A = this chain, B = another copy of it.
Amino acid sequence: MRREICLEKKVVSANDRLAKELAERFRAAGILAVNLMSSPGAGKTSLLEETSRRLGGELRLAAIEGDLATDRDAERLRRAGMAARQINTGRGCHLTAAQVAEAIDTFDGPGRPIHLDSLDVLFIENVGNLVCPAQFDLGERRRVVIASTPEGDDKPIKYPVVFHTADCVVLNKTDLLEATFFSCEAFRQYVRGLAPKARILELSCRTGEGLEAWLDWLRAERASAKKC
């Protein structure tokens, strides 16, 4: 057991070194890199589709998509107008900084990187998993955790590690509030207990309700990244 823990630390610290390099590249390019984390099916890709449709004419956006298998999410984003690169992790339960670096360097194929200077925001959509991604820094400037009403309002206290590290918590699928047993008040209280400074945004990608506040948050964060 002791050896396992030591090795985990070693793997994480190797990742951290690469993540620091990525963070420096993002900082130098003045872009906002966002690590999106959630359970499977909470709406990460839906949020990016809507973001592309509403903000694509104003900011230069791109996405790196992490999934065990298929390139469905990258295809969905391209159809919504966002440049996207799929990473398939096989059995891998989270993205690593090395995978993100490779995706940047081969964004449009071998030897065809995406130029960070030509971007305003780079989204990194992690593997759908509310546990493991929290422990792997990808060099991001901001962490966004997406929850959704059908999952239940107690997810923050049952999966505290990922919520604890969030800069912004998005509650998606508010259109299903009445069809579920979800208490927004309880959810907000749980999030505040774990991440007192995190911005909490409630929205529905389906109806569009609340999306403007999300776009405003992105605009402000991007402006702040630009200044650094």
A residues near B (Cβ < 8 Å) are 3-4, 7, 11, 39-42, 67-70, 72, 91-93, 127-132, 135, 148, 150-152, 154-155, 157-161, 173, 175-176, 179-180
Question: Who on chain B is nearest to A72 by CB?
Answer: B154
Given contacts A11-B4, A158-B72, contact A91 B41 (CB under 8 A): no
Let me know if B130 and A40 touch, CB within 8 A.
Answer: yes
A161 partner residues in chain B, CB cutoff 8 A: 68, 91
Please name all residues of chain B whose beta carbon is closer than 8 Å to the beta carbon of A180 when the two chains form the complex. 176
**B-side contacts of A154, CB under 8 Å:** 70, 72
Q: A39-B128, A128-B130 are in contact. List 17 more A-B contacts (CB 8 A).
A: A7-B7, A39-B151, A40-B130, A40-B151, A40-B155, A41-B150, A68-B158, A69-B159, A70-B157, A72-B154, A72-B157, A91-B161, A93-B131, A128-B158, A132-B132, A148-B150, A150-B176
Determine the chain B residues whose CB is within 8 A of the CB of A132 once the complex forms: 93, 129, 131-132
Partner of A131 from the list B11, B129, B160, B173 (CB cut-off 8 Å) is B129
* Contact status B155-A41, CB under 8 Å: yes
Whether the Cβ atoms of B127 and A131 lie closer than 8 Å is yes
CA distance A161 to B152 in the complex (A): 25
> How far does the alpha carbon of A181 sit from the alpha carbon of B68 in the complex, in Å?
22
Given that A41-B151, A41-B152, A179-B175 are contacting pairs, would A68 and B131 also be in contact in the complex, using a CB cutoff of 8 Å?
A: yes
Minimum C-beta distance from A124 to chain B (A): 17
